[in-house]
């Protein structure tokens, strides 16, 4: 597996798009964020800390749903065996053969288990703080006509980028 800034930024790009296209989700996340801070800070710009977000279940669920739909950010991977062998399904693999597999297929079947085992030590908490900070401080509106589709690449980017108006 690979991880880093490209995978984190890819995962974060899909979240604001999904939230901005579902106003009821955005409203619930905003309300939940407001419940986590003192009332006098409600209208102030704020950078959230990981510790503040632990009890925000709706934000957590929305982030998990975004990652379920558009994760893993690296949809394909390949491996080359050191020596010839037999795969669990009974297929012979030559030592010079590259075996390509879909992490997306694995994630779609086992993603919840993978996320629950890795979310506290990987980039998920950081992604939540960035997402919470963006949603609390800004209104993100997708520019009309911006075609949203995944780019077939090593990293799951948006094909035409995410064109937004921030207010």
- The tokens of 71 are what? 């994760």
State pLDDT tens for residues 61-84. Answer: 998 888 777 766 666 677 888 899
Domain assignment of residue 24, yes or no:
yes
Kindly report the number of other CB atoms within 10 A of residue 92's CB atom.
9
Domain assignment of residue 87, yes or no:
no
- Stretch 112-127: mean pLDDT: 62
State pLDDT tens for residues 5-56. Answer: 556 666 677 888 899 999 999 999 999 999 999 999 999 999 999 999 989 9
Domain count, the chain: 1
Q: Measure the CA–CA gap between 155 and 132, rounded to whole angstroms.
A: 23
141-165 CB burial, b ≥16 within 10 A, e <16: eeeeeeebeeeeeebbbbeeebebe
> For residue 149, what are the domain limits?
5-74+107-166
Q: Measure the CA–CA gap between 2 and 163, rounded to whole angstroms.
A: 27
To the question of pTM greater than 0.85 for the whole model, the response is no
Residue 149 is predicted with a pLDDT of 80
Domain assignment of residue 50, yes or no:
yes
Check if the beta carbon of residue 74 is closer than 8 Å to that of residue 158.
no
Domain assignment of residue 57, yes or no:
yes
């Amino acid at each position: 597996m690979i991880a880093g800034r490209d995978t984190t930024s890819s995962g974060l790009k899909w979240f604001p798009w999904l939230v901005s296209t579902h106003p009821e989700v955005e409203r619930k996340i905003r309300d939940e964020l407001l419940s986590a801070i003192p009332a006098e800070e409600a209208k102030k710009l704020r950078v959230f800390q990981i510790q503040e977000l632990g009890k925000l279940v709706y934000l957590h669920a929305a982030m998990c749903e975004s990652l379920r739909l558009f994760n893993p950010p690296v949809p394909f991977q390949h491996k080359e065996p050191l020596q010839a062998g037999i795969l669990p399904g009974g297929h012979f693999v030559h030592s010079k053969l590259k075996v390509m597999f879909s992490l997306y297929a694995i994630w779609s079947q086992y993603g919840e288990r993978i996320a629950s085992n890795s979310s506290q030590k990987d980039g998920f908490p950081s992604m939540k703080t960035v997402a919470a900070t963006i949603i609390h401080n800004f209104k993100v509106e997708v520019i009309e006509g911006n075609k949203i589709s995944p780019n077939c690449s090593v990293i799951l980017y948006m094909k035409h980028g995410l064109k937004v108006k921030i207010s």
